[in-house]
């Protein structure tokens, strides 16, 4: 009887994991970001994947899901490839170097504070939860205007966008985050893209740098559980089509602010859970 109850519990958690994966794709399709902020916790808490491995899996899942969503935006002419390339090229360098060299060279124990030990997995989850908190605050406070014209000179603007691409790439490599919440403000504020074009362009940037980062893991990372990886990616791709459709019906300000509060609560819970684990 206990065995049957345990099996039912495992099945319910698995079903919840795939439902959450569909929701991840839906969010990614609606706002062009947030996929990885949901994917890493889904992998860790619902699929029992180690946090370090989860960051690698997240790169593939978010990358493939974003590629599917970006293709949908491409069909409606809402992708700016020129700006996307300007941002993506330096981000490739950041994500690949971190995944291929920095992450594998990090010790399993980052530091010890008395009786407390900060492990590599714990460190990554703490950084990830802090990223969630900062991202949520930026979304909640974001102005309602879709386009904010930049007064920067074209050359300086290109340099700033490229530098931010490098930084976002490094963040992507460390915590498996696609960086949509950092990419979209750069595209809207610095480049002046309309919000929907920024979302479509962001999806292609996320897809390219996430999948390139995953290549680094294929070379140096853990063994890959392809059935889990592909099934979660399929669930995310299924959700992203609904996300794009909903994006046209929900007011942009309400959508971003509501999800911002959701991420704020989730990030707080994960951060508390990590400190409790100490």
For the chain, the average pLDDT equals 80
Arithmetic mean of pLDDT, 125-138 = 78
**Residue 182 burial by CB count (10 A; 0-12/13-18/19+): exposed, middle or buried?**
buried
**What's the start-to-end Cα distance of the chain, in Å?**
35
* Between 140 and 6, residue with greater pLDDT: 140
Q: Is 109 helix (H, G, I), strand (E, B) or coil?
A: strand
* Between 217 and 58, residue with greater pLDDT: 58
Q: What angle do CA 236, 86, 260 make, to 5 degrees?
A: 45
Output the CA torsion sign for 235, 238, 243, 244.
positive
User: Tokens for 163?
Assistant: 């530098």
Instruction: Provide the Cα torsion 30, 33, 38, 40; round to 10°.
Output: 150
User: Tokens for 179?
Assistant: 């960086």
- Region of 179 on the Ramachandran plot (φ > 0 left; ψ -120 to 50 alpha; else beta): left
Arithmetic mean of pLDDT, 140-154 = 57
What are the boundaries of each domain within the chain? 2-277
Q: Is 150 helix (H, G, I), strand (E, B) or coil?
A: coil
pLDDT tens-digit readout, 193-241: 887 888 889 898 888 878 887 887 776 666 788 998 999 999 999 998 8
In sequence order, what are the residues at sequence separation of 6 or more whose Cβ sits closer than 8 angstroms to the Cβ of residue 225? 57
| Contact present, 139 and 259 (Cβ < 8 Å) | yes
Tell me: pLDDT of 170 over 90: no
pLDDT tens-digit readout, 79-116: 998 888 888 888 888 888 887 788 888 888 888 777 77
**pLDDT given for residue 145 in this prediction:** 47
């Amino acid at each position: 009887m206990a065995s049957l109850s345990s099996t039912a519990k495992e099945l319910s958690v698995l079903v919840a994991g795939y439902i959450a994966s569909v929701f991840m794709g839906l969010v990614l399709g609606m706002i062009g970001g947030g996929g990885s902020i949901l994917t890493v916790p889904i992998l860790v808490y619902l699929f029992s994947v180690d946090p370090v491995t989860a960051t690698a899996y997240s790169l593939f899942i978010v990358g493939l899901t974003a590629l599917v969503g970006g293709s949908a935006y491409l069909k409606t002419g809402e992708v700016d490839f020129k700006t996307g390339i300007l941002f993506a090229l330096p981000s490739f360098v950041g994500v690949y170097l971190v995944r291929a060299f920095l992450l594998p060279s990090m010790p399993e124990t980052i530091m010890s504070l008395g009786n407390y030990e900060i492990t590599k997995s714990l460190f990554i989850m703490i950084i990830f939860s802090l990223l969630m908190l900062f991202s949520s605050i930026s979304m909640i406070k974001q102005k309602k205007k879709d386009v904010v014209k930049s007064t920067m000179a074209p050359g300086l603007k290109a340099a700033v966008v490229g530098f931010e691409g490098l930084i976002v790439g490094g963040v992507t490599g460390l915590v498996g985050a696609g960086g949509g919440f950092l990419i979209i403000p750069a595209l809207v504020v610095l480049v002046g893209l309309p919000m929907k074009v920024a979302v479509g362009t962001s999806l292609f940037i996320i897809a390219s740098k996430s999948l390139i980062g995953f290549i680094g893991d294929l070379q140096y990372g853990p063994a890959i559980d392809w059935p889990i990886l592909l099934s979660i990616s399929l669930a995310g791709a299924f959700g992203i089509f609904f996300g794009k459709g909903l994006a046209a019906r929900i007011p942009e300000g309400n959508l971003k602010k509501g999800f911002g509060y959701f991420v704020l609560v989730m990030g707080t819970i994960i951060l508390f859970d990590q400190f409790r684990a100490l």
